[in-house]
Amino acid sequence: MLSTDRIEWVICSVGGYFLGVFGPGVPSVWLHAFLGGCPPGFLCQRKVHLFCRGLLPDEKQSAADLDAVLQHHHSIQEKLAEEMLHLARNLKNNTLVAQNVIKQDNQTLSHSLKLADQNFEKLKDESDRLEQHAKKSVNWLLWLMLIVVCFIFISMILFIRIFPKLR
């Protein structure tokens, strides 16, 4: 027959081994009778760990420890939930600010595109007018300048012939 020390050693070593290898349900099912009929799952794991560390002398202390642990976990979960809520609010605010900035940028961009289109149309109209004006003016101006250059050339030849070089 096994002594209680030997049973404790088997529970701690085998239970801890199966806790690490097979997950939460296996040791709690096997050690169900020894630990006082705990259901499979986290609470039974906690009892195995407390028992192996020598923290489970009686059921009242175990219940108090479990209540304290559960209350601690509950407070941590509440803090995490509050922090997640705060982060979600910040994310929502940042998203709304980014949405407003993007809307303003889109409005500025559409306004700039409209102005660019208007300027392009005005530039095209002015370019056409300048081209027509240049065609019309260059034709007469070219003939006028050609006549003036010919007149000056003939005048210089006549001037040189009329007034010869003085000796």
pLDDT, tens digit (0-9, with 9 covering 90-100), for 105-160: 999 999 999 999 999 999 999 999 988 887 776 677 788 999 999 999 999 999 99
120-159: buried (b, 16+ CB within 10 Å) or exposed (e) per residue?
A: eeeeeeeeeeeeeeeeeeeeeeeeeeeeeeeeeeeeeeee
Q: Can you read off the two tokens belonging to residue 85?
A: 């809520």
3-state secondary structure of 141: helix
- Please compute, for residue 129, the number of CA atoms within 13 A of its CA located in the half-sphere on the CB side: 6
Residues 47, 51, 55, CA angle at the centre, nearest 5°?
A: 100
Q: Can you read off the two tokens belonging to residue 92?
A: 């929502």
Placement of tokens 């910040």 in the chain: 90
- Read off the pLDDT of each residue in 70-86 and give the average, rounded to a whole number: 96
Top pLDDT among 58 and 15 is at 58
User: Which pLDDT does position 158 carry in this prediction?
Assistant: 93
3-state secondary structure of 158: helix
pLDDT(22) > 50: no
Residues 27, 55, 66, CA angle at the centre, nearest 5°?
A: 70
User: Which pLDDT does position 111 carry in this prediction?
Assistant: 97
Top pLDDT among 80 and 10 is at 80
Residues 35, 47 contacting (CB under 8 angstroms): yes
pLDDT averaged over every residue in the chain? 77
